[in-house]
Structure 1
Amino acid sequence: MTDFNWTQLQNGSDIRGVALEGVAGEAVNLTGGRVTILGKAFGTWLAQYLEKSSTTLRVAVGRDSRLSGPALSEAVTTGLTSLGIAVYDVAIASTPAMFMSTITEGFDCDGAIMLTASHLPFNRNGLKFFTKKGGLDQPDIQAILELATVNQFEAIAPAGQVTQRDLMAVYAGQLVTKIREGVNSQHNFEQPLQGLKIVVDAGNGSGGFYVDRVLQPLGADTRGSQFLDPDGLFPNHIPNPENKAAMAAISEAVVANDADFGIIFDTDVDRGAAVDSAGKALNRNRLIALMSVIVQKAHPGSTIVTDSITSDGLTTFIEQELGGRHYRYRRGYKNVINQAIALNQAGEESWLAIETSGHGAMKENHFLDDGAYLITKLLVEVAKLQEQGKTITDLITNLQEPAESKEFRFKITDPDFKTYGLQVIEQLKIFAEQQENWQIVPKNHEGIRVSCQSPEQNGWFLLRLSLHDPVMPLNVESNVNGGVEKINIQLLNFLQNHSDLDLGAFKNP
């Protein structure tokens, strides 16, 4: 395996690859043998990081519902135990629960590994790594892959022992306690969700536990919940709160079952979204607004860190309605989380870091991006508001939402796509400065964001370079019908002069 390019498996702060055949043109590169080596590499890295002998370490291993999960879980466990590391096999779990295994009494693991590829197709899989300080960052993954490349590990006898543990029961119990104490009902402390009908869509991923281990013990009526059973083929829809079909499925389930609230998770439950009683999606800007309300109640004036594509109306809501500060940063959930941590270290309180994708992390929860925790926080408000005869959507009545919002993705055909993309952005800055009623937004941390202030446009656009791919995403929003098209027409005067950008549907809708 010395000729294998291990760097192809790095996906930011995760490892991802093709684990199963079945998709044309996608050769398997995340084999059992390679995952065993990755287990050895992580175990070696962890021992060095903690300055401990590997024989004293304990690591939890979990997986989502993917078909390749059991085999790869066994493979990574083989790698770990060959170094004398004790392993807790927790079977199907959520990614946030894997981190909690490192800081929860009774587990107290030195590290944890989650086998998942989030919402990617059935043939993909990957590994996420944790220590007690949280998820690993890009340099850590690079170091692990360097160890895998060298592949010089000495087996230690006896091998580490493997113990089966039910992590999800403990993790779910923590969420149950959080809701009971958060609602603190004087009428029914043990079952504060009694009288509420709540429908869950787990998308056949790992999130089905939330029904029988969280909602039902709290008294909720969960009839109508769907796709709870793990199925790595994901036969019903992509488990992704950003996916239109997925959100339509949970919205339809809420309406069909006359439910009070709907919940949807991605495959490994580090992301979540909700639906109100009318079937209206509470994701993206609405989810951020709701979480901002909750945070500002507890921590007035807190800075809310988001990714770069949030709406102007959200900024107005956070800053003028709630009295907080909105800090737009770069795309990538780790970027957003790390920026919030950096702000706190610099003396600026930030209690929420959240992407429009549904990745949300709270300071009170170790800045762990945990979809189930965010939903749990929402449910506390749902229960409190029910006692007042109100609904969760009442909290964001004054959130201004765009009339139109679209995203376009331009493929870059120039081989040196990063240099080319950055040149396009610099040239667009010059073009934008020459346009009447266009203004470049200051304090922008990614690409170029332009405010389009004419009455017929009344919106904004952001052009940026993708984090990993030869693609330039363009997000365009307008507060008036037809405004996106007007912005696009003006933008086309610039974009059509760049032959290495594939404008596709943007040019010919």
Structure 2
Amino acid sequence: MDYRKLKSGNDIRGTAMGTNAVITVEFAEKLGSVFAYWLKTLENKDPVLACGHDSRLTSEALSKAFCRGAVKQGAQVLDFGLCTTPAVCQSVQRGKLPLSGAVMVTASHHPPDKNGFKLFTKHYGEISGAVLKEIFLLLNQPLTPSDKEGSVVNYNYLENYCQSLAELTRKLIKTDDLCPLLGLNVVIDASNGTGGFYAKLLEDLGADTTGSLFLEPDGHFPNHIPNPEDTEALQMVSKAVIENEADIGIIFDADCDRVAVVDSDGKAVNRNRLIALTAAILLDKTPGITIVTDSVTSSGLTKFIGEWGGVHYRYKRGYRNVIDEAIRLNKSGVDCPLAIETSGHAAFRENDFTNDGMYLATLLVCQTLHGKRNRKKLTEPLESLDEPVECNEKRFPITADDFRAKGLELIDRVMDDATEETDRFLAPDNREGVRINFNLEEELSNAWMLLRLSVHDPVVVLNMESDVEGGIAYMENHLRNLIIDMTGIDFSTL
């Protein structure tokens, strides 16, 4: 089997149910053996691993199979059971457990029939796509048998993780009180994933979580897909916030590394608004810092961060890309405490740049309490955020055999066109694909479009925003004329 097809960015992912399943217990056991073997060669000793899983119907069986495979290569395995991705990552990075690496069985926000694996080591954190390729090579090779089998021990790491969130809460509120969140009303939507315990944590800290939704783990995801960006999911949280007169609503994906928020008026705080709010909280205390984001953020966000005294650094899609760039910038001397994506992934320097939705949620919960005590709304800073009149995203499947070459051909064509005209020009400081600023209705840079290759799929993604009505139609028509003779890409949705 060509295991490379299972690579999705830095993750392993595929269909796990039905006759077309590729993420099977047999594959999981093999992967467990290979990962343990790879770590053993890296450290020259039998590894100690942690293993957690989300609420998907196949996750527990896949997790047990992975553990079996790791044990065959002499690994000692701590089985965390139902857990979150940030907790699994933290268990490796904090160093309080003698772990060589860890695995999280999850497919994040994807449908119930999908599943996959996220791999972590104490050396790399979440492993990169390049390191994942090394592991894939071993899947097709015979492994040297271990002299002895390892063992599996159940370990409830979520207790440690919850303790760290409770400590963070008291630190942010600057109190040692047992119930620092008294007087705060919070609605949690756990999406029937692994994050239901967060409501109990907030209750223990004094918050009222009446009206919270879908806290029980259920791999069918019967109420809505476990995606914080899903419109239906956000509407459900908004309704619950208004009905229960809550101060804030929070929604997680299945493994809790992504988050979105609803304010007390039921308005969504996600994408550019979530980045802007988080940036404002940090910049209010530390002006001059740099905020790293993905490439599809709005022009209004750049202006907002600048007005708050910060620097907006647009990078690439893919949360690992954003995090790695923030780490690189810090090493080069740039003060960069936050890497955040429009999808709701966020990683803070103070949290070891762990991709952690609950860390961000806790920051926003505490900020909401500060605001309530001072009769200020959480989203008050967003009143100065310029938001586009129109925005849209379209995805064009690449049908050519060499999808990367064909995608780059389109990007080059658009780039060449922009260098020849005066009413559109290449956006400055662009680091992914091609981003074109348009001057519409005799105004400067009041619309833009970004063409880029998808991180995961053979697809070209088109993002557009306009500050004037009809701007998107204008840009679409312009692109249509540019690609009229182009083959190998399905532009039927344009």
TM-score when scaled to structure 2? 0.96
State the AA in 2 paired with 1:322.
W
**One-letter amino acid of the counterpart of residue 349, structure 1:** D
1:345 corresponding residue in structure 2: 331
Match of 2:44 among 52, 64, 72: 52
Corresponding residue for residue 237 of structure 1: 224
Alignment-mate amino acid for residue 362 of structure 1: F
Note the alpha carbon deviations across 1:311-345, whole angstroms, 9 max, x for none. 000000111x2111111111111111111111111
Tell me the distance in 2 between the aligned counterparts of 1:244 and 1:435.
38
1:423 aligned onto 2:423: no
- 2:412 match: secondary structure: helix
> In the alignment, what sits opposite 1:449?
435
- Which sits farther off after the overlay, 120-129 or 148-157? 148-157
- In 2, Cα distance between the equivalents of 1:103 and 1:312? 35
- CA deviation vs aligned residue, 1:259-279 (integer Å, no higher than 9, x gap): 110000011001111100111
Residue 89 of structure 1 aligns to a residue whose secondary structure is: strand
Paired with 2:404 and 2:328, the residues of 1 have a C-alpha distance of 27
Tell me: CA distance 1:103–1:426, structure 2 relative to 1, closer, same or farther (3 Å).
closer
**1:152 has 2:143 as partner:** yes
Specify the code of the residue in structure 1 equivalent to 2:232.
A
Match of 2:177 in 1: 189
Q: Check whether the contact 1:43–1:83 (CA below 8 A) recurs between aligned residues.
A: yes
Deviation at 1:385, TM superposition (A): 1.1
Separation in structure 1 between the aligned mates of residue 282 and residue 383 of structure 2, nearest angstrom? 17
Aligned pair partner of 2:103 in 100, 107, 113: 113
Output the amino acid matched with 1:189.
D
Aligned to 1:10: 7
Which residue is equivalent to 1:395? 381
Structure 1 segment 312-327 matched on structure 2, within 5 A: 312-319=299-306, 321-327=307-313
- Which residue in 1 is equivalent to 2:463? 475
Q: Is 1:291 matched with 2:278?
A: yes
Match of 1:378 among 357, 364, 374: 364
Q: CA deviation at 1:424?
A: 1.2
- Stretches of structure 2 that go unaligned for 5 or more consecutive residues are none
In structure 2, the partner of 1:204 is: 192
2:27 alignment partner in structure 1: 34
Which letter maps to 1:470? P
Instruction: Judge conservation of contact 2:396–2:493 (CA < 8 Å) in 1.
Output: no
Measure how far apart 1:445 and its partner are. Answer: 0.9
Q: 1:135 is matched with which residue?
A: 126
SS at match of 1:502: coil
Q: Does residue 253 in structure 1 map to residue 231 in structure 2?
A: no
1:247, distance to aligned residue in structure 2 (A)? 1.6
Determine the C-alpha separation between the residues in 1 that align with 2:465 and 2:92. 42
Match of 1:439 among 425, 444, 448: 425
The 8 Å contact of residues 347 and 355 in structure 2, kept in 1 or not, is answered as yes
Q: Is the 8 A contact 2:29 2:69 kept in 1?
A: yes
Question: For the structure 1 residues 5 and 413, does the alpha-carbon distance in structure 2 shift closer, same or farther, using more than 3 Å as the test?
Answer: closer
1:43 aligned onto 2:33: no
User: What CA distance in whole angstroms lies between the structure 2 residues aligned with 1:322 and 1:190?
Assistant: 34
Q: How far off its partner does 1:298 sit?
A: 3.8
Local SS of the residue matching 1:392? coil
Task: Indicate the residue corresponding to 1:263 in structure 2.
Answer: 250
The Cα offsets for residues 456-505 of structure 1, whole Å up to 9 and x where unpaired, read as 88311101122232211101101123322222222222133323332223
Q: How far has the Cα of 1:52 moved from its partner? A: 3.1
Q: Deviation at 1:193? A: 1.7
Segments ≥4 residues shifted beyond 6 Å = none
Aligned mates of 1:423, 1:491 — CA distance in 2? 14
Counterpart check, 1:92 vs 2:85: no
Tell me which amino acid in the other structure corresponds to 1:15.
I
- Asked whether the equivalents of residues 407 and 476 of structure 1 are also in contact (C-alpha less than 8 Å), the reply is yes
Query: For 1:367, which of 344, 353, 356 is the aligned residue?
Result: 353
- Could you say what secondary structure the match of 1:464 adopts? strand
For residue 52 of structure 1, what is the amino acid of its counterpart? N
- Measured in 2, the distance between the counterparts of 1:5 and 1:445 equals 31
Aligned length: 491
Classify the secondary structure of the residue corresponding to 2:392. strand
Does residue 63 of the first structure (1) align with residue 48 of the second (2)? no
Does the CA contact (< 8 Å) of 1:59 and 1:86 recur in 2?
yes
RMSD: 1.6
* Match among 451, 470, 476 for residue 488 of structure 1: 476
CA-CA distance at 1:189 after TM superposition = 2.7
> What is the rounded CA distance, in whole Å, between the counterparts of 1:332 and 1:106 in structure 2?
29
Identity %, equivalent residues = 44
Q: CA 1:217–1:171 in structure 2 vs 1: closer, same or farther (change >3 Å)?
A: same
TM-aligned CA deviation for residue 302 of structure 1: 1.1
CA distance in 2, matches of 1:356, 1:197: 26
Match of 1:221 in 2: 208
**Alignment partner of 1:78 is 2:68:** yes
Partner of 1:161: 151
Give the structure-1-normalised TM-score: 0.93
Q: CA offsets, 1:237-269, max 9 Å, x none?
A: 111112222222212221222211000001100
Alpha-carbon distance in 1 for matches of 2:483, 2:182:
56
- The alpha-carbon distance between structure 1 residues 299 and 231, as it changes in their structure 2 partners (threshold 3 A), is same
Shifted more, 460-469 versus 430-439: the winner is 430-439
Q: How far apart, in 1, do the equivalents of 2:95 and 2:433 lie?
A: 44
What is the CA distance between 1:104 and its match in structure 2?
4.6
Native 8 Å contact 1:180 1:191 kept in 2: no
Shift of 1:164: 1.2
